[in-house]
Amino acid sequence: MWRNTQVGWGVISIALHWLSASTIVGLFALGWWMTGLGYYDTWYNLGPWVHRSVGIVLFMATLARLVWRLTQPTPQGHGSRLEVLMAHLGHITLYVLLLFVMTTGYLISTADGGGISVFGWFEVPALVHGLPQQALIAGDLHWYSAWALMLLAVGHSLAALKHHLIDRHDTLLRMLKPTSR
Ligand code: HEM
Ligand code: HEM
């Protein structure tokens, strides 16, 4: 039930998938919204603080997710060999983009040498700072890679719906219901 098998996902993988997906969409919306706020808005500083804190927690969850993913069996893909290959490459790209978005977010935040306070619980030190135009370049990369991540996630969701509605595979259902074996 907790672990994955050759035919289905366990509770841990399912929980991490859906919690991450909703957090990513939330961070995208918050990031977009907060960068349009005026200086005197209450959320002008609070928004980025929440965005960075949630982003760091997501980063830690993603590292745990990758460790779990690499030490567990993975359910076999459905469809033609090409579809299975495309799905595999798509999933790897989602992980790579996710790590890239979070890294560039970190680089924007640490550009001036200050660490990142995570909900005031602990501080992540600024390991890289003072690179030429660090905040500006990391900011651009953050914005474009966040968009790429969202677009790929939309394609990924459509593929999941195609498996479910057209091919009648259990791909989506097994990401909702933990394997019983
Ligand atoms: C999947 C995770 C994330 C997504 C989808 C995301 C998305 C976004 C978006 C859409 C913006 C608006 C960009 C703009 O208008 O220029 C933004 C801004 C920002 N993000 Fe993220 N972000 C994520 C993670 C992080 C993390 C982990 C950090 C730092 C620890 C971070 C720090 C920032 C900062 C400081 C800004 C403000 C940039 C500015 O003022 O131009 N983000 N984010
Ligand atoms: C930001 C949004 C999302 C991201 C970043 C994301 C990311 C991922 C990743 C990386 C995997 C591969 C898991 C692995 O092999 O370790 C995966 C699997 C999966 N995702 Fe998503 N996902 C998102 C949203 C969604 C949505 C909205 C749906 C449904 C409509 C969905 C349905 C699935 C399904 C069914 C699988 C399992 C595929 C299989 O068993 O081969 N995902 N997702």
Residue 181 domain-assigned? Answer: no
pTM for this entry: 0.96
| Nearest atom in ligand 2 to 74's CA | 15
**Amino acid (one-letter) located at 99:** L
| One-letter amino acid for residue 59 of the chain | F
Ligand 1 pocket mutation pick from 51, 57, 106, 136 by most atoms within 8 angstroms of CB = 51
Residue 118's DSSP bridge partners are 122
Looking up tokens 């001036």 gives 112
**CATH of residue 135:** 1.20.950
Q: What is the pLDDT along the chain (181 residues), one digit of tens a residue?
A: 999 999 999 999 999 999 999 999 999 999 999 999 999 999 999 999 999 999 999 999 999 999 999 999 999 999 999 999 999 999 999 999 999 999 999 999 999 999 999 999 999 999 999 999 999 999 999 999 999 999 999 999 999 999 999 999 999 999 999 988 6
Q: Please, what is the angle between helix 134-165 and helix 11-34, to 10°?
A: 130
Q: Which residues have C-beta within 8 Å of that of residue 117, sequence separation ≥ 6?
A: 49, 52, 53, 123
Question: Does residue 150 sit within a domain?
Answer: yes
Determine, yes or no, domain membership for 26: yes
Could you read off the pLDDT of 151-176 as tens digits, one per residue? 999 999 999 999 999 999 999 999 99
Range of the domain at 108: 11-174
Ligand 2 pocket, residue 176 CB under 6 Å? no
Number of domains the chain contains: 1
- pLDDT tens across 15-38, in order? 999 999 999 999 999 999 999 999
pLDDT, residue 84, reads 96
d(Cα 45, Cα 51) in Å, to the nearest integer? 10
The reply to whether ligand 2 has any atom less than 6 angstroms from the CB of 172 is yes
Q: Which amino acid makes up residue 15?
A: A
Q: What is the pLDDT of residue 45?
A: 97
Spatial distance between the Cα atoms of 110 and 130, rounded to a whole number of angstroms:
9
The whole-angstrom separation of Cα 64 and Cα 52 is: 19
Tell me, in angstroms, the distance from the centre of ligand 2 to residue 33's CA: 25
Helices and strands: H and E segment counts in the chain: 5, 2
Query: Is residue 3 a part of any domain in this protein?
Result: no
Question: CA 73 to CA 76: how far, in whole Å?
Answer: 9
How many Å separate Cα 64 from the centre of its chain?
A: 12
Angle at CA of residue 22, ends 30 and 100, nearest 5°: 70
pLDDT at 180: 81
User: Ligand 2 in contact with 87 (CB < 6 A)?
Assistant: yes
Task: Name the closest-CA residue to atom 31, ligand 1.
Answer: 105
Cα radius of gyration (the chain): 18
Q: Is residue 59 part of a domain?
A: yes
**Which bound ligand lies closest to the C-alpha atom of 114?**
1
Residue 2 lies in a domain: no
What's the pLDDT at 159? Answer: 97
